[in-house]
Chains A and B, each alone.
Chain A
Amino acid sequence: MRRMKFRAAAAAVLLASALAACGDAGEDTEGRDVEANENAAEEFDDGTRMKELAEAGTIKVGVKYDQPGLGFMEAGGDVPTGFDVEIAKLLVADLGIDPDSDNVEWVETISDNREPFLQEGRVDLVLATYSITDERRQVVGQTGPYFVTGQQLLVPSDSDVESIDDLKGQEVCSVTGSTSIDRINEAGAKGVGFDSYSECVQKVLDGTVAAMSTDGTILAGFAAQNEGQLKVVGEEFSEERIGVGYSKDRPEMCEWINDVLEDSFEDGSWAEAFELTLGPSGVETPEPPALDECAA
């Protein structure tokens, strides 16, 4: 029953956005409309976090604000956009909360405060390009992945650099303290850190560093923003499995998140969200990844 309703809603959304796409060919993507699941509160078992959230009718979701295509907040905007946000909307809607209403609080979680925010309960879910690692699973719950990506290079259009091997000993920019910096150093280049990816873009443009590196999808967004000046090159030299973070005290959320993700893989809403958010920067929609099993 639940699935039927969800599919009906998804089909309606598909139609609505197809129509919207006809009218608006601009690159301004507002995101998909996802309708809240009305009987959510009754569907979950008593005592689960999902039941609590559904009954409370409010939720706090941690996302990135500075990654075009994944989690991005326009200057002066009030709802972030991107693929992470679209997936978050599916989860929120499944709890019976309208993802476009004020009942959803979008909290900016930078890389460094994702675990503390989950542990302290300042956010209920984290969808912030959150790579799944064993180390993190010791302190928070993570499931997915809903997305698999890898690190590439962003260089000036006239650059001869073809792979990370061409940059041995040279400075490559990324965000301070990020996993990308580690990978750059491991590959023999020298990782230099700035506060955000857009600052790195600036340093590549003014020639201070030869390249910047992070997940290819993020770079594609910047290459599209700076067409003719920057390009993405190289094979992916790492694999990041992007998942959903939740509190370790609430392991029951894992099955639920996987169910929602599985549904979105099957009914096409996942692919559609991907095309809408990452498609415009030229990333091809891949096959949905295989989800990790939840620990029993």
Chain B
Amino acid sequence: MNAVLDDLDAYLQAFGYTLALFVISGLLSLVLGTVLVAMRVGPVAVLRAAATTYVTTVRNTPLVIVFAFFAFFAPIINIRFTWLDVHIGRFDFTELFGAAVASLSLYTCTFVCEALRAGVNAVPLGQAEAARAIGLPFGGVMTNVVLPQAFRAALPPLASVQIALIKNTSVAAVFGVAEAVAQMRTFTNSFASQRLGIFIAFAIGYIVLVEVVSFAAARAERRWRIA
């Protein structure tokens, strides 16, 4: 534990990267997941099939393979993130970070989509029919009537998906992002005698992050409860 306390800066910086990965990929995954679910429940057969295929394929692929795709295969076919070159304080967000965010969001959005689809199914059919009856187009039905209710109904599983995302960011440790697990391995490598303390220190960091998200989700659930 002393090793971590003596170098608290490195510890916090590492969790800073974890947090950045989580926040950016979390938001992107919510947006992409919403688009996917709209495609999946929408009236266009081609889009429905495309979204279904994407979700079943990516959801059944291990995350580390998705990462490996963006790290090793994508550059060969010229899918790169070289345009990303942002430096804020001691944080550098470069190509490797971009690839990590892409992997995490494209993976997590499939789970978001499925959680939301459960939410959409929970909205009584009459709601959508009534919305159509007053002349709303598909987009209007989704954004004004169905999705707001679906999000509320799907809040608990969505929170679980986002919590899983926090822990999934650790895969980026071996794909060039100096996040918490990468830093932990640096610590355990240099301070072999303090392994247990180092593990505990990093476990606490993850627990804090997860607790914050759970707390926010619980509050949102109470606040947005339907009727």
Residues of A near any B CB (own CB < 8 A) = 111-112, 115-116, 133, 135-136, 138-140, 171, 173, 176-179, 181-182, 190-195, 199, 202-203, 206-209
A142 to chain B, nearest CB (A): 11
B185 touches A176 (CB 8 A): yes
A193 touches B182 (CB 8 A): yes
8 Å CB interface, B69-116 against A: 71-72, 75-76, 80, 92, 94-96
A182 touches B95 (CB 8 A): no
A-B contact count (CB 8 A): 77
A194 touches B192 (CB 8 A): no
Q: Which of B53-61, B143-151, B172-180 contacts A (4 or more CB under 8 A)?
A: B172-180
State which of A138, A181, A199 has its C-beta within 8 Å of the C-beta of B193: A138
B96 touches A208 (CB 8 A): yes
Q: A139-B192, A202-B72, A208-B176 are in contact. List 18 more A-B contacts (CB 8 A).
A: A111-B189, A112-B188, A133-B190, A140-B192, A171-B176, A176-B186, A177-B182, A177-B185, A177-B186, A177-B189, A192-B96, A193-B173, A193-B185, A194-B175, A203-B71, A206-B72, A206-B76, A209-B176
Number of chain B residues whose Cβ lies closer than 8 Å to a Cβ of chain A: 27
Closest residue of chain A to B188 (Cβ to Cβ) is A112
Given the complex, which residues of A lie within 8 Å of B95, measured CB to CB?
Answer: 208
In the A-B complex, the 10 residue pairs with the smallest Cβ-Cβ separation, listed nearest first, are A177-B185, A195-B174, A192-B176, A206-B75, A138-B193, A115-B192, A139-B193, A177-B189, A177-B186, A176-B182
A78 to chain B, nearest CB (A): 26
| Bound-complex Cα distance A115 to B76 (A) | 38
B101 to chain A, nearest CB (A): 15
- Contact A199 to B195, CB < 8 A, known contacts A112-B189, A171-B94: no
Enumerate 8 A-B pairs (CB-CB under 8 Å) in ascending A order.
Answer: A139-B193, A171-B94, A176-B181, A177-B185, A177-B188, A190-B178, A194-B71, A208-B95
Please report whether the interface of chain A is mostly helix, strand, loop or mixed according to DSSP: mixed
State which of A115, A171, A178 has its C-beta within 8 Å of the C-beta of B195: A115
Interface residue B191 (Cβ < 8 Å from any Cβ of A): yes
| Bound-complex Cα distance A206 to B80 (A) | 10
B178 touches A182 (CB 8 A): no
Closest residue of chain B to A181 (Cβ to Cβ) is B186
